[in-house]
Amino acid sequence: MKIRRLLGTVARRKRAPSTMAMFRAASRHRDAGRLGEALTLVTRALAAEPNSITGHVLAGNLYVAARDMAPARSAFEHVLALDPHQPRALLGLGRIALEENDAGACRVLLERALDRYPDFPEAQALLEVVESPAPASIPFAVPPAPLVLPRRARQLVLVGPDGALLRAAPPDSRGEGAAQHVHRVSRLAGGILGRFGLGALRDAVVESAYETTLLKCDERATLCVTFPIDIPRETVWSEVERLWAAAGAPDYIESRDS
Amino acid sequence: MSADTPRRAHDVRALPRAPAEAEGVCGALLVAPDGLVIASHLPESVSVEALSALAATLGRELELRAALPGHGPFVTARFAGETGTMILGATAIGFVVVLARAGADVTDDVRVAAAAIERAWRRPSLA
C-alpha cells in the first residue's frame, strides 16, 4: 500500500512538469526557431503561474520574434506591473516605442533599464542611437534648394540630422512618414558602423523585389531617393549625386567655388 | 513538432559562416527580430549583444518600409561607412548581418546566405 502511494507520487511528478521546466523547454524550442511550440508551452505555463516574470518576458520576446507587436507589448507591460525595473521588458518596450517613432518614450525606457542595470550592452547601444545627434558644424542652407523628382523615380526626401523633413517630392503627405523612417534607418546604421570602427555612414542601397532606394548622407542631412529596380545602378547613383549637389551640399559648393 | 527541426536549426546556424569567411569580411551574425543571436561568427573584439540589438532593430525598421506607401519589403541593404561596410539580408527567421572592410563587396554573398537560410528554414517537415 505504502509503495503504491509512493509510486503514485512519482508518476504524478512525471506527468506534471514544473513551470520552470516548461519555460526551459520553451526556450529550447525558441532557440531552434520553433516559435509556435515555444509559445504554446509558455502559455500553458503562464496559466499555471500567471505572475511569472520569466514567462511573460519569454512570451514578449517570442511575440517580437514572430513580428506580433501588440501581444508583445501586453506581455512586457505585464512584467513591468510586477517589476517596474525588469530590464528585458524595458528594452522590449523601448524597441516597440522606437518602431512607433516615439524616440522620447524609447529613451526614457532605456534610461530606466540602465539606471538599475548600468552594464546592459543592448540598452546602452540603443540609447546612443536614440539620443539626439550633435548639431552639424556646417548645416545645410535652410531652406535647401527645391529638388525635382528625377524621371521614373518614385519618391525623394531630404532629412535633417534631427529627422526634420527638409524637402520631399512628390510634395504630399507621404514625405513626413518617409523622413521619420529614413532618420531611424540612418541613425541605426550609423550607430552600428561607428560603434564597430567602420566610420560614419556615407551612403546606402536598400533593395526590395521592385525598387532600389539610395541614401547619401553626411552629418548635415540624408538624401533618400527610390527608383524602380530596373534602372541601372550607375544611372540612379548619378541622379542621386546630382540631387545632392542641387540640394546645396556645402562640400559641393566649396569644391565648385575653389 | 517536426522530426527534422533540430537538423534544420543546425543547418541554419551554420549558414552565416560562408559570408563570414569571404575576402575582406570582419564577421557575420544571424539575429532574430527580438535580438536573440541564432548564429555568430564575429571576432572577440565585437560586442555581440550591442550588435544584435542594433541590427535586429534596424532589420525591423527596414521590414516596416513595406508599410509605407509605394515601398516593398527589403531583401538586402548595404550601408557604407568611411572605412567599412555593413550588409543586412532579410529572412523569415531574422537578419543576416555582415561587417566588412571598405572595398569588399559581399552583398551577393549575403543574398546567397539569406536565400539558403530561407530554403533550410522552409524545408518541408518529415513528420
Per residue in B18-38, pLDDT tens?
Answer: 777 878 888 999 999 999 998
Q: What are phi and psi of A205, to 5 degrees?
A: -130, 120
User: How many helices, marked H, and strands, marked E, lie in chain B?
Assistant: 4, 5
The residues facing B29 across adjacent strands are B40, B97
Full strand arrangement of the beta sheet holding A222-228 = A165-169, A155-159, A222-228, A211-217, A201-208, B74-81, B84-91, B94-101, B25-31, B37-41
- The per-residue pLDDT for B9 is 57
Does B68 touch chain A if contact means CB atoms closer than 8 Å?
yes
**What pTM was computed for the model?**
0.87
Spacing of C-alpha A89 from chain mean position: 15
Does B54 touch chain A if contact means CB atoms closer than 8 Å?
yes
Does A226 have pLDDT greater than 60? yes
Grid cell at residue A85? 525595473
Question: What whole-number percentage of chain A has pLDDT above 70?
Answer: 85
- The per-residue pLDDT for B52 is 96
* Positions in chain B short of pLDDT 70: 1-11, 121-127
The helix (H) or strand (E) run that includes residue A88 is helix A87-99
Chain A residues 183-222 with CB within 8 Å of chain B:
184-185, 188-211, 213
Total Cβ atoms within 10 A of residue A77: 15
Residue found by looking up cell 573584439 in the block? B45
**Which chain B residues are within 8 Å of A123, Cβ to Cβ?**
53
Does B55 touch chain A if contact means CB atoms closer than 8 Å?
yes
Per CATH, is B5-122 categorized as 3.90.960.10? no
Q: B60, A193: Cβ pair inside 8 Å? A: no
| Residue extents of the structural domains in chain B | 5-122
Q: Could you give the ipTM of this predicted complex?
A: 0.87
